[in-house]
């Protein structure tokens, strides 16, 4: 009998203890008892996310628009997904509205646990950020479109990254100091080395961005061709394939502003040589060793020296630098021209497709003719139709050329159409050369007599006209 009374008392005590799991909530059923061996622990994935959030989640500040998952272990009725409303609150089961805006995830998790404490014994709450609100950031410095941007999350990631923000801002300029990109986050300043990211794959140099971050891209102290090429091929470079607006001045055939587009639809930004081609190519007086690219940066003007002769001789592709909108290319006049370099320059890709020379005198078709660069004298004479078979002196012609120093040189050249290219007998022509073909001796005498007799002929013509007039009367 006493044993039966003891068992009844123990059962009553057990029911009383279980009733303290949930108090003052008679409408909510008790949670099911844990399975044997479970140890009252939630599923590892949920617990791990609650106890060990990522550094980004741990420092994330909640605000209106965030979507959260609240899991109260053992009480599924209290669990669910919640949206942080415009007033910064979430509306939880039993508790009601709870202000969480401005809190980190761990702080909000502790707050929710504390609010459930009067209703649950040792409540275990897991708070997970399902979808963050759009991130508002600012980008300034050496980017093509500085300003304020709203970034949304990409598939598989909770937060946008630095390179994604730079891409949205139009990419960095060629003057960007990508080794010292600064991210201002409240009182903290983070520094990222994007060159380390592109060259070494250092993914930690592409940090995630949080709402309110401010990005500053400094101007590089000096131009670096290798850095420029690395920027061009990166995801945070300007949009490839887009035409750019530049200016070319100096020794080109069509100086002035030009629009340069990548050749053949290739998604590579235009270069110096492509810009010179668009401007008609270099003239014969161009000094390709002292070309300057003048570039405006956020901190002032920058001058980059370019030596295209190194490109021709050694294939130094770094000399053919990548351009950006607003660049000005200045090609100076050569102090003197080395005749041995003329052929190499004429065959360069940035030389004109044709040059113009003037053939005057006794040829079949006198006047200006267009010929390819590296055209010898004999070839130009043939393009003009060759010597006039009756009037021309086919023994020699005169070549007149404007020199870089402004003087004019004249020399007589004996013509032999079987002569190969030769600096003396059959030289290569330059733009605006003038070839004068003289008259033969017999033609000169005949022309002289004709000039002398022209007044006499005019007199007899007048006399004949007068006689005709008299006869008519």
pLDDT in tens, 71-94: 999 889 999 999 999 999 999 998
Mean pLDDT of the 247-259 span: 94
Mean pLDDT of the 154-178 span: 88
Of 119-128, 195-204, 239-248, the one with minimum mean pLDDT is: 239-248
* CA separation for the pair 447, 449 (Å, rounded): 5
Condensed to tens digits (0 to 9), the pLDDT of residues 348-404 reads 888 888 888 999 988 889 999 999 888 889 899 999 998 888 887 777 899 998 776
> Using 50, 70 and 90 to split pLDDT, how confident is the model at 56?
low
What's residue 24's pLDDT?
37
The answer to whether residue 468 scores a pLDDT higher than 80 is no
Higher-confidence position of 242 and 34: 242
* CA separation for the pair 236, 224 (Å, rounded): 18
- Judge contact between 371 and 380, C-beta under 8 A: yes
Condensed to tens digits (0 to 9), the pLDDT of residues 96-119 reads 999 999 999 999 999 999 999 998
> Using 50, 70 and 90 to split pLDDT, how confident is the model at 328?
very high
**CA gyration radius, the chain:** 43
Query: How far is residue 246 from each of residues 28, 125, 272, measured CA to CA in Å?
Result: 73, 61, 10
* CA separation for the pair 253, 269 (Å, rounded): 23
The answer to whether residue 10 scores a pLDDT higher than 50 is no
Residue showing tokens 């008790």: 30
Of 256-270, 363-377, 413-427, the one with minimum mean pLDDT is: 256-270
Which among 9-23, 268-282, 427-441 has the top mean pLDDT? Answer: 268-282
CA–chain centroid gap for 278, Å, is 19
Reading the block at residue 354, the tokens are: 């044709």
In b/e form, how buried is each residue of 71-88, taking b as 16+ CB within 10 angstroms?
Answer: bbbbbeebbeebebeeeb
Residue showing tokens 């587009």: 261
Q: What structural domains does the chain harbor?
A: 44-131 (3.30.1950.10), 135-232 (3.10.560.10), 244-346 (3.10.560.10), 355-439 (3.10.560.10)
Query: How far is residue 419 from each of residues 253, 422, 431, 437, 438, measured CA to CA in Å?
Result: 31, 8, 22, 18, 20
Mean pLDDT of the 451-472 span: 46
What's residue 238's pLDDT?
81
* Average pLDDT of the chain to the nearest whole number: 80
What's residue 393's pLDDT?
75
Helix, strand, coil percent content, the chain, rounded in steps of 5: 30, 30, 40
What's residue 186's pLDDT?
87
Which among 112-126, 155-169, 258-272 has the top mean pLDDT? Answer: 112-126
Which among 208-217, 263-272, 330-339 has the top mean pLDDT? Answer: 208-217
* CA separation for the pair 177, 227 (Å, rounded): 9
What's residue 5's pLDDT?
39
Condensed to tens digits (0 to 9), the pLDDT of residues 360-372 reads 988 889 999 999 8
What's residue 46's pLDDT?
36
Mean pLDDT of the 230-254 span: 85
CB atoms within 10 A of CB 444: 13
Which sign, positive or negative, has the C-alpha torsion 456, 457, 462, 468? positive
- Judge contact between 106 and 163, C-beta under 8 A: no
What's residue 426's pLDDT?
87
Q: Where are the alpha helices (DSSP H) in 162-210?
A: 162-168, 194-200
* CA separation for the pair 180, 193 (Å, rounded): 6
Mean pLDDT of the 197-222 span: 92
Helix (H) / strand (E) element for 16: namely: helix 2-19
Condensed to tens digits (0 to 9), the pLDDT of residues 20-54 reads 333 333 333 334 434 333 333 333 333 333 345 56
Higher-confidence position of 124 and 9: 124
> Using 50, 70 and 90 to split pLDDT, how confident is the model at 455?
low
Could you tell me what percent of the chain has a pLDDT over 90? 41
* CA separation for the pair 133, 144 (Å, rounded): 26
Of 47-61, 69-83, 184-198, the one with minimum mean pLDDT is: 47-61
What's residue 454's pLDDT?
52
Any bridge partners for residue 96, and if so which? Answer: 92
The answer to whether residue 464 scores a pLDDT higher than 70 is no
The answer to whether residue 251 scores a pLDDT higher than 60 is yes
List Cβ neighbours of 440 (8 Å cut-off, separation of 6 or more): 362, 391, 392, 393, 394
Of 10-19, 365-374, 443-452, the one with minimum mean pLDDT is: 10-19
- Judge contact between 131 and 67, C-beta under 8 A: yes
What's residue 331's pLDDT?
96
Please provide residue 30's backbone torsions phi and psi, each rounded to the nearest 5 degrees. Answer: -70, 150
What's residue 13's pLDDT?
34
Condensed to tens digits (0 to 9), the pLDDT of residues 267-312 reads 667 899 999 999 999 988 899 999 999 999 988 899 999 999 999 9
């Amino acid at each position: 009998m006493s044993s039966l009374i003891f068992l009844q008392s123990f059962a009553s005590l057990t029911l009383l203890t279980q009733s303290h799991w949930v108090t003052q909530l008679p409408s909510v059923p008790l949670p099911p008892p844990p399975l044997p061996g479970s140890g009252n622990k939630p599923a590892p994935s949920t617990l791990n996310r609650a106890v060990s959030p990522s550094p980004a989640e741990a420092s994330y500040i909640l605000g209106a628009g965030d979507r959260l998952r609240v899991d109260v272990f053992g009480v599924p009725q209290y669990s669910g997904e919640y949206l942080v409303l415009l007033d910064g609150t979430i509306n939880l089961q039993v508790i009601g509205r709870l202000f969480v805006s401005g809190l980190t995830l761990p702080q909000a998790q502790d707050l929710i646990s504390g609010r459930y404490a009067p209703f649950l014994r040792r409540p275990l709450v897991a708070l997970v950020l399902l979808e963050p609100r759009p991130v508002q950031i600012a980008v300034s410095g050496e980017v093509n479109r500085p300003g304020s941007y709203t970034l949304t999350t990409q598939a598989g990631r909770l937060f946008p990254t630095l390179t994604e923000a730079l891409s949205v801002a139009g990419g960095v300029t060629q003057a960007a100091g990508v080794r010292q990109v600064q991210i201002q986050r409240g009182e903290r300043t983070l520094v990222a080395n994007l060159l380390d990211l592109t060259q070494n794959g250092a993914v930690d140099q592409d940090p995630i961005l949080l709402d309110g971050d401010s990005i500053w891209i400094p101007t590089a102290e000096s131009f670096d061709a290798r850095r420029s090429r690395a920027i061009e091929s990166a995801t945070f470079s300007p949009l490839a394939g887009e035409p750019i607006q530049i200016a070319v001045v100096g020794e080109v055939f069509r100086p002035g502003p030009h629009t340069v587009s990548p050749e053949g639809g290739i998604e590579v930004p235009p270069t110096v040589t492509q810009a010179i081609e668009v401007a008609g190519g270099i003239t014969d007086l161009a000094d390709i060793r002292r070309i300057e690219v003048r570039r405006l940066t956020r901190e002032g003007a920058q001058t980059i020296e370019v030596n295209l002769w190194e490109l021709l001789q050694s294939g130094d592709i770094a000399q053919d630098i990548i351009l950006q909108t607003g660049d000005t290319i200045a090609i100076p006049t050569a102090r003197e021209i080395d005749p041995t370099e003329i052929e190499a320059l004429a065959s360069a890709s940035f030389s004109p497709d044709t040059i113009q020379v003037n053939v005057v005198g006794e040829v079949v078709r006198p006047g200006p003719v267009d010929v390819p660069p590296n055209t010898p004298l004999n070839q130009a004479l043939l393009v003009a139709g060759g010597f006039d078979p009756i009037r021309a002196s086919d023994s020699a012609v005169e070549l007149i050329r404007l020199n870089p120093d402004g003087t004019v040189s004249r020399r007589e050249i004996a013509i032999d159409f079987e002569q190969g290219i030769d600096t003396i007998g059959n030289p290569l022509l330059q733009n605006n050369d003038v070839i004068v073909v003289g008259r033969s001796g017999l033609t000169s005498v005949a022309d002289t007599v004709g000039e002398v007799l022209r007044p006499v002929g005019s007199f007899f013509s007048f006399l004949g006209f007068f006689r005709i007039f008299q006869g008519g009367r």
